[in-house]
């Protein structure tokens, strides 16, 4: 049919067997290097700036002063906390994209306690009540969509997403009630004089307590997912609901339990934000972390340990990007372009870890030997 001329496809794709870990990480490292090179090229072409100077500026933005480094670590901690929170749900294939709302209700519960109970309870008890309230609020916000999913098989993606907007409006409502000073449309710093309900400073920096708390949560989540009976049930339900039922796991119960944990952890993130750092509440206090956490968790393949790295990477890129924008007088959007390019490479390289490409050149050599 083709006049004796043998045409081999230019390219075909086959699935790899498992790659050894060092090769897989080699590919990932190569992807990051490649991403940096491409970013450099784009920078030079679009702006004429020296890419090296740009990268140095990113580093400076993230670590330039000890204050910057602490702020970065604090942001990593909060993002990591939200990522840890959504992970058990994702492992269960329950697409919880309601982290944003769960964090917000955690913030709201914390702020409500700080504002209404500051003259009623001693400080230590107030903080415990705040923590409990944020856990319950977040847990409830997680439980509602889980309950509907378990009972009527509603779509959890839409449900959790919509719960975000409910939470935002709820916060907006209470901001007007708690407005201070009147007419500002803001809550302002809560208990600025008495510092009631503020988390105490531990160690050298006021962010230290948050960072330590999240570090502990990371270890706890790792152990929970890997070694506990609950963690095992979550994995089985996620892999195959039919298998779970077959071995007698009560799937509905696992879904609801896991979402309470997921929501409660988001609540803790809200607690840390309000009581630990911001001491106020706004509708944007969560800063889209509920969504960014989805990416952090996926990039780390749901492993709490890798999430330390991926949340750091995301925060570092974000911080560096805005530094470039100010240093070089570039638009903020330019930083986002670079972040996008880097993420593209990091996510894209997973394809090469899973699949292998065969090119025509290599093929004909093999075939020629058989003539």
Partner 1 sequence: MDGKVAAVQMRDITKSFGPVVANDKVWLDIYKGEILALLGENGSGKTTLMNMLSGIYFPDEGKIYVDGREVVIRSPKDAFDLGIGMIHQHFKLVDVLTAAENIVLGLPGRGRLDMRAVAAKVREISGRYGFEVDPMQKVYDMSVSQKQTVEIVKVLYRGADILILDEPTAVLTPQEADKLFAVLRSMRDDGKAIVIITHKLHEVEELSDRVAILRRGHFVGDMPTAKTNAMEMTNMMVGRPVTLNIERPQPKDPQPRLEVKDLTVRDEDGVLKLDKVSFTAYSGEILGVAGISGSGQKELLEAIAGLHRAEGGSILYLDAQSGEPEELIGKDPRDISDMGVALSFVPEDRLGMGLVGDMDLTDNMMLRSFRRGKGFFTDRKGPHKLAERVVEELDVNTPSIETPVRRLSGGNVQKVLVGREISSAPTVLLTAYAVRGLDINSSYTIYDLINKQKERGVAVIYVGEDLDVLLELCDRILVLCAGRVSGLIPGRGATKRRVGLMMTKLGGGAEDE
Buried b or exposed e, range 205-236, using 16+ CB within 10 angstroms = bbbbbbbebbeebbeebbebbeeeeebebbbb
Instruction: Note whether 229 binds partner 1 by CB under 8 A.
Output: yes
Token representation of residue 130: 């705040």
Kindly tell me which of 3 and 119 has the beta carbon lying closer to partner 1: 3
C-alpha dist (Å) from residue 32 to 43, 49, 346 = 16, 21, 7
- Cβ atoms of 127 and 162 closer than 8 Å: no
Site for partner 1 in 246-265 (CB under 8 A): 246-250
Residue 202 CA to residue 205 CA, distance in Å, equals: 7
Whose Cβ is closer to partner 1: residue 78's or residue 236's?
Answer: 236
CB of 120 to partner 1, least distance (A): 36
Among residue numbers 4 through 43, which ones bind partner 1 (CB under 8 A)? 4, 6-9, 12, 14-18
Nearest CB to partner 1, comparing residues 175 and 265: 265
User: Which pair of tokens denotes residue 369?
Assistant: 């030997």
- Applying CB under 8 A, the span of 27-35, 99-107, 108-116, 238-246 interacting with partner 1 comes to 238-246
Three-class DSSP category at 356? strand
Query: Nearer to partner 1 by C-beta: 361 or 366?
Result: 366
| Two tokens, residue 259 | 């979402």
Task: Quote the radius of gyration of the chain (alpha carbons, Å).
Answer: 24
Region of 158-166, 222-230, 282-290, 300-308 interacting with partner 1 (CB under 8 A) = 222-230
Choose, by CB under 8 A, the member of 25, 239, 326, 357 that binds partner 1.
239
Least distance to partner 1 from the beta carbon of 129, Å? Answer: 27
- Residue in 78, 113, 196, 236 binding partner 1, rule: CB under 8 A: 236
Please state, as a whole number, how many other Cβ atoms lie within 10 Å of the Cβ of residue 137: 26
Footprint of partner 1 on this chain (CB under 8 A)? 1-2, 4, 6-9, 12, 14-18, 227-233, 235-236, 239-240, 242-243, 245-250, 356, 358, 363, 366-367, 370
């Amino acid at each position: 049919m083709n006049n004796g001329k043998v045409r081999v496809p230019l390219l075909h794709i086959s699935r790899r067997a498992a790659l050894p870990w060092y090769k897989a990480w080699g590919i990932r490292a190569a992807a990051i290097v490649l991403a940096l090179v491409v970013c450099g090229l784009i920078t030079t072409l679009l702006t004429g700036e020296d890419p090296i100077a740009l990268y140095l500026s990113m580093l400076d933005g993230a670590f330039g002063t000890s204050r910057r480094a602490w702020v970065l670590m604090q942001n990593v901690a909060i993002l990591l906390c939200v990522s840890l929170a959504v992970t058990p749900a994702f492992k269960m294939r329950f697409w919880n994209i309601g982290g944003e709302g769960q964090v917000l209700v955690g913030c709201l519960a914390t702020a409500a306690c700080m504002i209404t109970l500051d003259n009623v309870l001693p400080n230590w008890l107030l903080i415990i009540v705040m923590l409990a309230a944020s856990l319950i609020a977040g847990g409830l916000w997680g439980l509602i969509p889980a309950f509907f999913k378990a009972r009527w098989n509603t779509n959890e993606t839409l449900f959790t997403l919509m719960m975000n907007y409910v939470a935002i409006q709820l916060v907006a409502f209470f901001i007007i009630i708690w407005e201070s000073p009147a007419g500002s449309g803001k809550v302002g710093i809560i208990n600025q004089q008495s510092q009631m309900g503020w988390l105490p400073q531990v160690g050298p920096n006021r962010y230290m307590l948050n960072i330590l708390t999240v570090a502990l949560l990371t270890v706890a989540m790792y152990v929970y997912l890997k070694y506990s009976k609950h963690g095992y049930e979550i994995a089985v339900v996620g892999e195959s609901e039919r298998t779970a039922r077959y071995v007698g796991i009560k799937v509905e119960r696992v879904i609801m339990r896991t979402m309470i944990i997921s929501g409660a952890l988001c609540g803790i993130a809200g607690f840390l934000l309000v009581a630990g750092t911001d001491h106020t509440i706004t509708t944007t206090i969560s800063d889209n972390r509920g969504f960014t956490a989805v990416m952090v968790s996926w990039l780390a393949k749901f492993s709490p340990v890798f999430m330390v790295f991926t949340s750091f990477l995301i925060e570092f890129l974000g911080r560096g990007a805005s530094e470039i924008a100010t240093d070089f007088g570039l638009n903020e959007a330019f930083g986002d372009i670079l972040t996008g390019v880097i993420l593209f490479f990091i996510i894209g390289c997973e394809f090469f870890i899973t699949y292998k490409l065969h090119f025509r050149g290599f093929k004909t050599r093999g075939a020629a030997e058989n003539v």
